[in-house]
Amino acid sequence: MSVNPDRPAEITPEELAAQTALYAPFTQAVRELVDATIRTTVDPATIRTAQAEVEAITARLREEQLEGSLGAHFGHGRARQPWGNTVVGLRNPVAPPLRPVPAGDREGEVHAEVVLGAAYEGPPGLVHGGVSSLLLDQILGTAAAAAGKPGMTAYLNLTYRRPTPLGPLRVEGWVDRSEGHKTWARGHVVGPDGPTVEAEGLFVLPRWARELLARRGDAEAPPAFE
Ligand SMILES: CCCCCCCCCCCC(=O)SCCNC(=O)CCNC(=O)[C@H](O)C(C)(C)COP(=O)(O)OP(=O)(O)OC[C@H]1O[C@@H](n2cnc3c(N)ncnc32)[C@H](O)[C@@H]1OP(=O)(O)O
């Protein structure tokens, strides 16, 4: 399927399912490659051979590609697929990926189970603090959107209570309160021994989006920010 970056593609649910079935396993295979690249102990000749093979695959994929990033090119109406997103993107091997689902009973509450491997290491054996921030920015933003109050991060305050081990983790976010176009959200990363990193952030529906909605008289349907 070709992609026009200026005009998001309308695709049917069947096409969406086909694209998902094609790209999700491909992206996961590249994630596995990253993990194997970090952890392999094979001999130098095998590394050089693998490098040539990876370079050949990269050249083949570049035979046809977008000018810029993936954006939100696919979907139905306003339900765009954030497939390039660095946290949740279906086509982004850098994304762990996080898969937030509605949970709990707080406003906008979403949870995501995730396993962070060697690619997300900061201190030895531990998750990089910036990665925890990345996940929390997304989950708090998703909570705001799930509450019907999407916005861009104006600030994000983090408290690192204790080290976060690599491995299985849960990330939780929910809305604390909102005033018009401003929504304050909270969340945390939960490890095997409880919460490790806590976050509090402000998400603002930007002025340009407020003006767009006012022109459309469409305050019930804010645009997506993913
Ligand atoms: C379905 C979808 C799924 C969506 C799922 C979504 C998941 C997304 C998760 C990822 C989120 C991101 O990473 S977003 C990317 C990272 N963030 C950014 O790049 C944002 C960059 N900053 C900006 O674009 C802007 O500064 C904004 C949008 C934050 C504010 O712009 P604005 O709206 O034009 O500005 P303005 O009118 O002055 O501000 C609006 C109100 O917010 C207040 N305000 C603004 N910044 C701050 C601040 N740091 N601290 C306190 N208050 C602030 C102002 O005082 C004002 O209050 P009042 O006077 O009106 O009371």
- What value of ipTM does the predicted structure carry? 0.95
Q: Residue 113: enclosing H or E segment and its boundaries?
A: strand 110-116
Cα(141) to centroid of ligand 1, in Å? 11
Helix (H, G, I), strand (E, B) or coil at 23: helix
Q: Give yes or no for residue 223 CB within 6 A of ligand 1.
A: no
Which residue ranges make up each domain of the chain? 1-90, 98-216
Q: Give yes or no for residue 92 CB within 6 A of ligand 1.
A: no
- Closest by CA to 178, choosing from 108, 225, 103, 111, is 108
- 8 Å CB contact between 154 and 123: no
Q: Give yes or no for residue 20 CB within 6 A of ligand 1.
A: no
Q: Give yes or no for residue 206 CB within 6 A of ligand 1.
A: yes
pLDDT tens series, the chain, 226 aa: 444 444 556 778 888 899 999 999 999 999 999 999 999 999 999 999 999 999 999 999 999 999 888 886 666 555 567 899 999 999 999 999 999 999 999 999 999 999 999 999 999 999 999 999 999 999 999 999 999 999 999 999 999 999 999 999 999 999 999 999 999 999 999 999 999 999 999 999 999 999 988 888 765 555 555 5
- Write the DSSP symbol of residue 91: T
Architecture of domain 98-216: Roll (3.10)
Atom 14 (ligand 1) nearest CA: 152
Which two tokens mark 101? 């689902």
